[in-house]
């Protein structure tokens, strides 16, 4: 069956004078209809730029430097801006990290939501008054579906009059008013408290179930991804290093970076103990790493890891990894890790 979205060998680069600095390097993945896929990784790993490349909303000075993005069978890279505008907001929508900077502060929230519907469905055969009434009705309906209390009042309110959780729900209502086939959610729970985060995750599940919308969920929070997504992509330094079903990847991580991320999650079993961390730092986009970018921080790396980026290897039907040592047994991994830096508790001395 054809994928709803296919990203093929995508690279995204930042222009610095005549230089091209690669923030995303040669990544490939697909999303099927009705699927929820998560992308996880540390800040600066390329998650957001890789997502912004899909609807071609990259900031100035950043460009697609290679690859293809095929959505509903159409190569988005060859479409004109006018053709893209018909797709954005209608069949492909995006929720941005910070709703306060994404919403127009001078326009009432209800008007901002209904405007999307007017732009994409303004050619339907209604009289102007009837169409305006329809837009208002559907806007209020979608606001109620997103769990906004007193939708009539919020419809007339300005963004600054709403709480952070309400503004995020307005952004979600705005993004799904046209029932898109794909929704890209870029850290939609950032700066929200745990209770509101849980409500947003529940709302995403409802959108997926009731509208059949596929979701690309970008987050550094593995706990949220485990609650929402069926499949996960792990990114590090602009590369996808592991991919698979969430349960499979979380229970049997094959890449040392994935293991490090999972070990750093607080748990009841380790309450009161220092959290684990990964020694070293993420390389900047100015540092070209010819081999595996995680090699300098990996307890199991060897000479070949520094020369060539590992090929994508399939471990089973639902699990892939880019690592030279995916088949090393857990016991052997622990034996090798004893003689290396390994993962250390936060606050332990690793300065030497």
pLDDT, block means (10 residues), the chain with 352 residues: 90 92 95 96 91 94 96 94 90 86 91 88 55 87 90 95 90 92 92 85 93 95 94 96 96 93 81 80 85 91 89 92 70 45 42 32
Q: For residues 224 and 261, state if they share a domain.
A: no
30 and 145 in a single domain? The answer is yes
Range of the domain at 296: 253-345
User: 188: burial class by Cβ within 10 Å (0-12, 13-18, 19+)?
Assistant: buried
219 and 99 in one domain?
yes
Distance CA 150, CA 158 (A): 14
Name the region of 350 (left: φ>0; alpha: ψ -120 to 50; beta: rest). Answer: alpha
Whole-structure pTM value: 0.88
Between β-strands 276-277 and 239-245, what pairing exists: parallel, antiparallel or unpaired?
Answer: unpaired
Rounded to the nearest 10°, the torsion over CA 246, 29, 182, 56 is 140
Q: Are 209 and 302 contained in the same domain?
A: no
CB atoms within 10 A of CB 189: 22
* Residue 263, H or E segment: helix 256-263
Residues 10 and 99 in one domain: yes
Among candidate residues 229, 244, 270, the one where a domain is terminated: 229
Q: Do residues 136 and 84 share a domain?
A: yes
17 within domain boundaries: yes
Same domain? For 224 and 284 the reply is no
* Alpha-carbon gap, residue 220 to 261, rounded angstroms: 9
**Residue 220 placed within a domain:** yes
Residue that terminates a domain, selected from 196, 229, 262: 229
Give domain status of residue 234, yes or no.
no
**Cα separation, 245 vs 253, whole angstroms:** 11
**Domain count across the chain:** 2
Residues 153 and 211 in one domain: yes
| Residues 6 or more apart in contact with residue 272 via CB below 8 angstroms | none
Same domain as 125, residue 21: yes
Query: Do 314 and 264 have their domain in common?
Result: yes
Please give the pLDDT value at position 125: 46
Distance CA 151, CA 154 (A): 5
pLDDT at 122: 56
The SS3 assignment for 1 reads: coil
Q: Longest Cα pair distance anywhere in the chain, in angstroms?
A: 76
């Amino acid at each position: 069956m054809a994928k709803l979205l296919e990203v093929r060998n995508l690279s995204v680069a930042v222009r610095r004078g005549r230089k091209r600095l690669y923030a995303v390097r040669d990544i490939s993945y697909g999303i099927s209809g009705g699927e929820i896929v998560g992308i996880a990784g540390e800040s600066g790993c390329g998650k957001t730029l890789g997502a912004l490349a899909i609807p071609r909303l990259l900031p100035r000075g950043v460009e697609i430097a290679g690859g293809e993005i095929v959505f509903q069978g159409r190569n988005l890279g060859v479409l004109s801006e006018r053709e893209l505008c018909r797709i954005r907001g209608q069949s492909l929508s995006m929720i941005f990290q910070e709703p306060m900077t994404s919403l127009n502060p001078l326009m009432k929230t209800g008007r901002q939501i209904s405007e999307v519907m007017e732009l994409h469905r303004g050619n339907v055969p209604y009289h102007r008054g009837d169409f305006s009434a329809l837009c208002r009705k559907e806007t209020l309906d979608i606001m109620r579906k997103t769990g906004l209390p007193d939708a009539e009042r919020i419809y007339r309110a300005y963004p600054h009059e709403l709480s952070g959780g309400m503004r995020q729900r307005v952004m979600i209502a705005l993004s799904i008013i046209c029932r898109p086939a794909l929704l890209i959610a870029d850290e939609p729970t950032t700066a929200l408290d745990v209770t509101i985060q849980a409500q947003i995750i529940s709302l995403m599940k409802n959108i997926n179930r009731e509208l059949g919308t596929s979701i690309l969920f970008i987050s550094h929070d593995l706990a949220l991804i485990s609650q929402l997504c069926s499949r996960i992509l792990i990114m590090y330094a602009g590369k996808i290093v592991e991919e698979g079903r969430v349960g499979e990847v979380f229970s049997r991580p094959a890449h040392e970076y994935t293991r490090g991320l999972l070990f750093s999650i607080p748990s009841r079993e380790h309450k009161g103990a220092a959290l684990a961390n990964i020694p070293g730092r993420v390389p900047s986009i100015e540092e070209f790493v010819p081999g595996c970018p995680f090699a300098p921080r990996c307890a199991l790396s060897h000479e070949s890891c520094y020369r060539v980026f590992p090929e994508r290897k399939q471990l089973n039907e639902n699990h892939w990894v880019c690592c030279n040592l995916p088949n090393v047994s857990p016991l052997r991994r622990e034996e090798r890790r004893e003689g290396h830096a390994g993962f250390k508790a936060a606050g332990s001395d690793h300065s030497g």
